[in-house]
Structure 1
Amino acid sequence: MTDLEFPTMPARSHVPRRWNSVAFTRGHHFEIKDGVSVDDLLARTTSPLSVILQVTKRCDFDCNFCSETLQRPDPTLADLERMRDNLLGVGRVFLSGGEPLLRRDFGDVVDLFADDFVVGVPTNATRGGQWAERMVGKVAYVNVGLDGPRAITRRLRGDYDKVMAGIRSFQRAGLPLSLSCVALRSGLHGLPYLLQIADTLEAGKLKLIMPLRKGNALKLQESEFITDSEAEAKFAELRTLAAEHQWRPAVRLTTWTSRTEGHMICVEPTGEANAWPVYDAENLFEPLGNVLHESIEAIWDRYRFKRNHLTKYLGLSIRATDHGGGHA
């Protein structure tokens, strides 16, 4: 089982189990504790640190970079309960989509997972007012997609004002917040403003992701895909601005190199688990098994990107600032 220290979440009497080697920080990311090596973790870890579970493929936005456009029926609560049981041992589960808050039973979905995992919810926040209160004390943080100021977000993702209304609902409920952004060349100029927005919102983290050539992103102009050196330059600029202006959110930038290949384990609504992104695989997915029918330990055993998985989620193979630290 992965060694993991769970965060203390607000308004919650249940105290989850604690492990010793990995901590979840107020910056909403994992860090390895002093004196522990990745080799140590690899030798004794029998399940992933983090898994993405797609509880729906439906979405009310049509982001021009979206990689997950193939529609499938939603899993039932019974399906999700079986998946939960087979995922025991995972540190964090993202209840993802699509847009997960579109599920009419989303509160019940959260209840299924809240006691056994660090739960993160990636969302566009447009249904934030509907579900914020139901997530309190159960969700470690919500991760809201936002690509910059109003004009940039409207062009690349969807209705900025609906997103911000949802964020305010999360804040009123006291839910911890992080932001994520897909870094396209036409939006790079807005990233300093986005980091300031993240600081104003008291977000724990701003996560920057390079687009993947899949789904809607196949229709992007080639000029939208920045190079690794351009990403490094923009990250250095943000790091300098954060220090100059004392902006507090952690900043993390993931680029698609050999060190991050296949680092994600994505479970589709059917229960099919895939390593992602695997650059020479169809749809960038490499099949691993199905968590409706087998344990995550069995899937982890055949997963060939274990080191990439751990080093990415521990911030060792990506660009990461030291801001937003401290254990939750």
Structure 2
Amino acid sequence: MTPLFRLLIALVLALFMASVLIGPAAVGTLASLKALTLGGDGPLPIVMRQIRLPRAMLGLAVGAGLGLTGAAMQGYLRNPLAEPGLIGVSGMAALGAVIAIQTGAALAFALALPVAALAGAAVGIGLLVALAGPRGGSVTLILAGVAISAMAGAGTALVLNLSPNPYAANEIIFWLMGSLADRSLVHVALALPPMILGAALIATTARGLDALTLGEAAAQALGIDGTALRWRLIAGVALIVGPATAVAGAIGFVGLVVPHLLRPWVGARPSRLLPASALGGAALLLAADIAVRVIVPERDLKLGVLTAIVGAPLFLHLIWKTRSGGRI
């Protein structure tokens, strides 16, 4: 194990524990750890086990998933500006959640919102398969993803425009900003299994992504089935991004920023960038979620807003370097 991976693992573990222990309640570290591990009577064990622990687990899973899928998309498309939302699944998941809020289903049934978001992600996958076709190339895939994203964005705007209830519209806007607050172990159980399956699928593409760095013709000569590789990758990305959006809302830039930051440290091999980006994404999202609790906690700063504030300037920097012909 390289020093970079040891550092990233230590950083993720430290941030995970900090995420569990940091909160608005002024409770000592020892008392918090005792309530978390031993339980007991009173509100503190409930806070630690039912509120803080699920939030930290989702921060770890969602951050790792977004970092992993960002590295996978960049490796497949051989473009450092690619990101997980490119295939449109996250937009369709958000549309499903918006519909659940607007129709009142989210109030009638506790899990209606994440379930509707997962249904929207499934519709997005179906549309992607139908539009890109079984043998469509990377350009067709990108165009299909852009079309699906545009359609999902238009649907979300239409729901907001026609919403007769200002409270529902306000709730939709806040949900779209992304957050891990008020999540439970039920959300963890809902999101984690498909995300683990998606990560396993992406892990099987590591050798193919390494071969693709030499070009599609060279990869085919090395025995890589381009069609199988593409659909394993797309299925893995969809299984991660859909549930992540379902439980955390729209959180951008993690899958774009993290692979870019870690690429110089792992070389040009996507197979090494995949696990590094998963760890880096988990560390970034855990740190951002801690920050939203510390920075103006009384104003409920949204997680997606903070990641956008951090990620947008770096994204502009990437565009500028590409325009001026520099290496990214």
Question: TM-score, with normalisation over the residues of structure 2?
Answer: 0.25
> Which of these two proteins has the greater Rg computed from alpha carbons?
2
> More strand by proportion, 1 or 2?
1
